[in-house]
């Protein structure tokens, strides 16, 4: 089997497909699914912000990571591949009942839609693809614990394609201790779920060797919580000799946690 994993671009205000060397547009879902597909299929990951898509290139399955801002482009990409009789599956934040118009259009094209964390259901998708029994809808149960996640596969990531500030995403947790009604993160991950620290260290070490990259950004909603686990993580990061950034809520940040983060390699914090 041949699988193409696509991170689609979006249209700028002038109506052009956006091209960018900013690595932050590349979601961690793609390297996670690439890792799960290795050994079962020939896999290629494509970031449309950097590389053009070849709609004539043969694949048994095209999987698209979709967000609302990219919905127009997602529909175009899905339609182009379906016109070439290639199976298409779409997942990500766009796959939400709030966006019923886009989902209806995808379903009418014969596109399979994954609701919830794709890694929970990906083996089933691949099995159904192999048996030519892809369903139009897959619903993944929400994760309750983050153990034994696949190691993100960044083998198709070439740092020469990106600018000097390039970084790779890594997960320390999903969810957030806050339950803010305005935040979509709470909807997708209603439970705060930290990963085992040794798994995080393992992932970073392997990705460093795989990509020769030393810059990372944690996808956590709130990394600087200031609890015991945060300090344990910072202590482990010291010995990895990486530069890293994160997001955090100011109510969780303390002078001690900021200093500890900085000493472990933190050079960027997005606050909100």
Query: Would you say 246 and 220 are in contact if contact means Cβ atoms under 8 Å apart?
Result: yes
pLDDT at 108: 96
Give Cβ neighbours of residue 141 (< 8 Å, ≥ 6 apart). Answer: 116, 120
For residue 272, the model assigns a pLDDT of 67
| pLDDT tens digits, 148-206 | 889 999 999 998 999 888 899 999 998 887 777 777 666 667 778 899 999 999 999 99
8 A C-beta contact, residue 192 and residue 231 = no
Does pLDDT of 49 surpass 70? yes
Q: For residues 216 and 204, what is the distance between their CA atoms, to the nearest angstrom? A: 8
Predicted confidence at residue 182, as pLDDT, reads 75
CB 114 within 8 A of CB 88: no
CA distances from 193 to 5, 75, 142, 170, 226 (A): 26, 32, 11, 14, 16
């Amino acid at each position: 089997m041949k699988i193409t994993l696509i991170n689609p671009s979006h249209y700028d205000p002038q109506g052009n497909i956006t091209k960018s060397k900013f690595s932050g547009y590349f979601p961690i879902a793609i390297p996670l699914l690439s890792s799960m597909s290795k050994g079962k299929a020939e896999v290629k990951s494509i970031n449309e912000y950097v590389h053009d898509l070849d709609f004539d290139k043969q694949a048994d399955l095209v999987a698209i990571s979709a967000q609302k801002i990219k919905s127009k482009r997602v529909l175009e990409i899905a339609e182009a591949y379906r016109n070439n009789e290639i199976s298409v599956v779409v997942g990500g934040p766009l796959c939400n009942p709030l966006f019923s118009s886009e989902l209806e259009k995808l379903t009418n094209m014969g596109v399979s839609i994954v609701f919830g964390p794709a890694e929970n259901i990906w083996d089933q998708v691949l099995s159904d693809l192999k048996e030519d029994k892809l369903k139009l809808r897959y619903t993944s149960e929400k994760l309750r614990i983050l153990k034994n996640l696949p190691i993100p596969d960044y083998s198709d990531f070439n740092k020469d394609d990106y600018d000097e500030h390039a970084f790779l995403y890594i997960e320390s947790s999903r969810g957030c201790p806050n339950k803010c009604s305005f935040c979509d993160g709470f909807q997708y991950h209603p439970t705060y779920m930290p990963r085992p620290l040794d798994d995080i260290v393992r992932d970073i070490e392997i990705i460093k060797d795989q990509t020769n990259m030393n810059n990372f950004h944690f996808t956590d909603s709130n990394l600087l919580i200031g609890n015991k686990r945060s300090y344990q993580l910072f202590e482990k990061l010291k010995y990895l000799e990486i530069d890293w950034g994160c997001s955090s809520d100011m109510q969780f940040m303390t002078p001690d946690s900021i200093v500890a983060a900085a000493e472990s390699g933190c050079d960027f914090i997005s606050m909100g």
